[in-house]
Amino acid sequence: MKDIERCLKMPLTDCVSFKAVIQRNRRIQIPVLIRWRFKLEPGEIFKVDLRVGYPHEEFYARMSKDGRLTVPKVIAEEFLEDPEEDSLSGYTAEVTLCPIWEEDE
């Protein structure tokens, strides 16, 4: 039984993907099951691959205390098709989180 528990709660070593709706202020909620399974802590930094339709962008983001990531404004503007649109709120996106490895010095 302990082997199963250990497998269910392991640190993020590979990339993990999920779908999310972009919330107000360009925020993306990381699902609770992913946060629990990989023991994600507030303040962790991830490399994020964001796909909204065909185009995709990569950026680095820090997870906040409430389990959300913020999409940088410059990146969000790349996805807006109509110049009259001012936000990505309500768009569905494919999000891929990858760990950041710190090099030992």
Residue 58 domain flag: yes
Q: Is the pTM of this model over 0.85?
A: no
Q: Residues 35-75: pLDDT tens digits?
A: 999 899 999 999 999 998 888 899 999 999 999 999 999 88
Residue type, 15: C
- In sequence order, what are the residues at sequence separation of 6 or more whose Cβ sits closer than 8 angstroms to the Cβ of residue 57? 49, 50, 75, 78, 79
Domain that holds residue 77: 11-99
Per-residue pLDDT band for 84 (boundaries 50, 70, 90) equals low
pLDDT value at 5 more than 60: no
Query: CA–CA separation, 8 vs 49, rounded Å?
Result: 24
Residue 105 domain flag: no
Number of domain units in the chain: 1
Contact assessment for residue 76 and residue 26, using Cβ atoms and an 8 Å cutoff? yes
- Determine the pLDDT at residue 103: 46
Domain CATH code at residue 27: 2.40.30.170
Residue 82 domain flag: yes
Residue 52 domain flag: yes
Residue 2 domain flag: no
